Amino acid sequence: MCFLHPLKLLVFVASIIWCLPLPINGQSSSGIPGYIRIPTATLNRDGTFYIGTSFLPKQHLEYTFFQYDVATAFVSLTFLPFVEVDFRFTRQLNLPSYSNHVSDRMPSIRVRLFKERKWMPSIVVGVHDFLTSIESGDARHFQSSYLVITKGLFIPPAELTVEATMGFGADWLVSRNYELTGFFGGICLNWKKVKWINLMADYDSEVISLGLEAICFSHLFIKGGIVNFDSFTGCISYYIFLKK
C-alpha cells in the first residue's frame, strides 16, 4: 500500500509536478521554509526576515529522550538571492532549570543551486547545527546535511496549486542526534478560492505528518499539524521585507 511506502507515492506525484514555478512559502517547525517537519527548496525573496516560534512534541524528540516537549524561537534571514541563514533556540519544557540540557542553539545555512523555472525545479543544499567541532559533536542535537528539490504546478480547471518536494539527508557531521537521515518528501496544496489556506503532508524519513497552514494579513503564518497520527505540532511565524 502507498501508506506503507510513502516515498513511492511522493516520487509518483513529483514526476507529474514538473511544469510551472509556483512556490508556496511558509516556515516549518524547524524555523526554515518548509512544510510541517521537512525543509523545501524554496528560498524567500532577498531581504526577507522571519521571526517565529514552534512547538515540538516529545513523542518524536530523541533530543529529550522522548520525555519532554520543547518550544523554539527562531529567526531567518535571506540576505542574498541564493543564501539564507537561520538560528533557532530550543528550550525543553517542564525540565528543572538547573539541568545542563534545558536549552539548545542551532544555526543553519541554506544555499540555492538552481532557481525554479518552467522545466527546472528549485534545488537547495542545507546544513544544520554545524558550529560545534567535528571531532566531538557533543552539542549537536539537530544535525542535518541535505539536498532538497521543489517544483510547483498550477492546475487551471481546478484553480489548484500543487507543490512537491523531495530530498535526501546524510549524517556527515558527528552529532548526538540527527534529523532527515535518508529520503524525505512532501506535498502542499493551495486552492485559489481559499488562497489563505495551505494543506500539506510530509515524510521526514521516519514518520508521516499532516497539517494546515493559515496565512493572515499576508505576513503572519499559523500552522498546525499531526505527527505520526499521535501528537500535535505547531508553528507561528511573521515576516517583513528589509529591502524594497
pLDDT in tens, 216-240: 988 899 999 999 999 999 999 999 9
The confidence score (pLDDT) of residue 18 equals 38
Whether 102 maps to a domain, the answer reads yes
Instruction: Quickly state the pLDDT bin for 178 (edges 50, 70, 90).
Output: confident
Report pTM: 0.83
Q: Hey, which bits of 157-206 come out as E strands?
A: 160-170, 182-191, 197-203
Maximal CA-CA distance, the chain: 59
Residue 188 has pLDDT above 70, yes or no: yes
pLDDT given at position 20: 36
Pick from 116, 106, 139, 112: nearest CA to 126: 112
197-217 pLDDT per residue, tens = 999 999 999 999 999 999 998
User: Does the residue 234 lie in any domain?
Assistant: yes
Q: Taking the mean position of all CA atoms in its chain, how far away is CA 210?
A: 13
| pLDDT category of residue 26 using cuts at 50, 70 and 90 | confident
Q: Which residues pair with 150 in a beta bridge?
A: 122, 165
How many CB atoms are located within 10 Å of the residue 55 CB? 17
Does residue 60 sit within a domain?
yes
Q: How many domains does the chain have?
A: 1
How many residues are given for the chain?
244
| Residue where the block lists cell 506535498 | 187
In this structure, are residues 18 and 151 in contact, taking their beta carbons and an 8 Å threshold?
A: yes
Residues 6+ apart with CB under 8 A from 138: 132, 176
Amino acid identity at 192? K
Q: Report yes or no on 177 lying in a domain.
A: yes
Q: Which residues contact 105 (CB under 8 A, 6 or more apart)?
A: 87, 88, 89, 90
Task: Identify the band that residue 160 occupies on the pLDDT scale cut at 50, 70 and 90.
Answer: very high
Please report whether residue 1 resides in a domain: no
User: How buried is 194 (Cβ within 10 angstroms: 0-12 exposed, 13-18 middle, 19+ buried)?
Assistant: exposed
64: in domain = yes
33 grid coordinates: 521554509
CB 226 within 8 A of CB 207: no
Task: Give the percent of the chain with pLDDT over 70.
Answer: 84
* Domain extent at residue 220: 6-241
Closest CA to 18 of 149, 140, 137: 149
